[in-house]
Structure 1
Amino acid sequence: MTPITEVEGRRLSLSNLDKVLHPATGTTKGELLHYYATVAAVILPHLHDRAVSFLRYPDGPDGQLFFTKNPPPGTPAWVNTTPVPRSDAPGARQVVIQDLPSLMWAANLVVEFHTHQWPVESPAVADRLVLDLDPGPPATVVECCRVALHLRERLAADGLTAYAKTSGSKGLHLLVPLVPAPSEQVSAYARRLAVEAEAALPRLVVHRMAKALRPGKVFVDHSQNAAAKTTAAPYTLRARRLPAVSAPVTWEEVESCTSPDTLTLLMDDMPPRLSDYGDLLAPMFDPAVAGAVP
């Protein structure tokens, strides 16, 4: 029998709570749902008013993975959706996670949460810039941290403030709050930053995606600033062997990183981190911190 629970007045069917999703740690679906309930206060602001895409992994990271933008079949009528301009699907709509019931409904599908860099009220007008630092083996997040520190200084020279989070996989994401600007303009600036970083650190950085160029280097992926692209949201769990989180980190942690293990943050790490730091990405919502794209 599927358990029925009530969340803020909404009735939810929560299924397969004992299913093991991460065999390496024995993490169950029930524990995943508990995680999202625990971090709701910090993840919801990062999802609010943004169309969500889901990477679903209902049988864990070793099972079938499928990426969906459309509202999944059976989406309750009380879950918000919004029209999203998409060249591949005119008239398309996507889910918007605005409250705890919607978050728990989506988490029950076993998903990663991915969002655009723009809010639904202003499609293709970005209020943040993202740089995805992706290491090509044998490079690791340690090399990503070196690149992140370089990019932080480069952004500061343009009056922009960068914040870091783990990707939840092998790399690091840099987020920059912006005075809203067209996604095309933000994309062009992000590409320029990546090209400049490669010129400044040619043995460490590559700005092109070609796999042949990437061994031992950090790919500065600027492409996620395109209006159609999405990035893993802060605090989302990832479909990985371990229940890893795309977790905000301090610049002190970036500066002192000497081993990939130090920036592998799992869901059980998050409650004590939130107790110590709160939401390290809270300044993303402060208009006074946002900078203009040069």
Structure 2
Amino acid sequence: MVVDRASSTRIVPRDPVTAFGIGNVATTGPTTVRAEQQVSTDLVDHRGRIDLPALAVLFDHLGGLPYFASDPDGSPCVQARLAISMQGGVDVGDRLTANAELLMHDEAFGTTRVDIVTSTGRICSSGTARNVAVGRTFDHNPTGDRGAAAPPGNSDLPGLPLPPAIEPGLDGRVIIEQIAAGTRAAGNLTELLNGRVDTVDHPLGTGVRFTVGTEPWMGNVFGTMHGGIIAAAVAQGCSFAGQANAAAGRDYQVADLAICFLRSPAVQGADVVVEVTPVKIGRRVASFDAAMHAHDGTLLSRCSADVHYR
């Protein structure tokens, strides 16, 4: 998200790729694609952190391009499933490099491996995308103008301020309830997604409901919601659930996310809702199930996620 400092008004992003600071997307071989992401303060959560949700668009976007490039006719494809693991933290201001390699493909399906590394060469995220060919039309070549230009350097970005620090003795559920009440910042990434969160009681712990107001910029080349935006929204819901079940003073990270895409919603202003349910809340690991539904109740995606506490 970009803010005009003179008027303090929000400038709506052009598309998911530019909104998440992704650029230098290029084919590097017959089955490989590379891209960069400039991680700015626009993508931090309520803690001022960069976590898995901020990398979801890069992961999904790059996860489909090698399969697309493998077909001389450029048949369109979508991701059926993503499996993403975080291997450590990412610093605000870092410039990430992602490499995607098509491991197998035929005329109907593919499997792509994605690795994301920091500017120091340390791997911070890895996993796979399952690709599926679809008989849809699209408005332009997805390997073309989206992300072709280099992302702006961090010094060239206006950057949003970091959220206020969280008091170390505050219970996790209280933090989420404050965000829900509007007395604590939800985080810049949540604001980018037009998100709002509420707690939901559950016998095994605290669940959350994360609601996202869709906008046209969130669309893919087919005109429906980009899979990376779906994954980012679901992952952010799981992050809030991790926070809601954290004991006072405990830190956490969304460590693993496995999401399947069932349908892609329109992006014309209707809400989509992510319901996150605790499966097991442990001392070191909490597991959650999540589902995204359209405003009319249509199931859009399902997910399982693990949150690690420290």
TM-score bracket relative to the smaller structure: under 0.3
Give TM-score, length-normalised by structure 2.
0.25
TM (normalized to structure 1)? 0.26
Higher strand proportion, which one? 2
Between Structure 1 and Structure 2, the one with more helix by share is 1
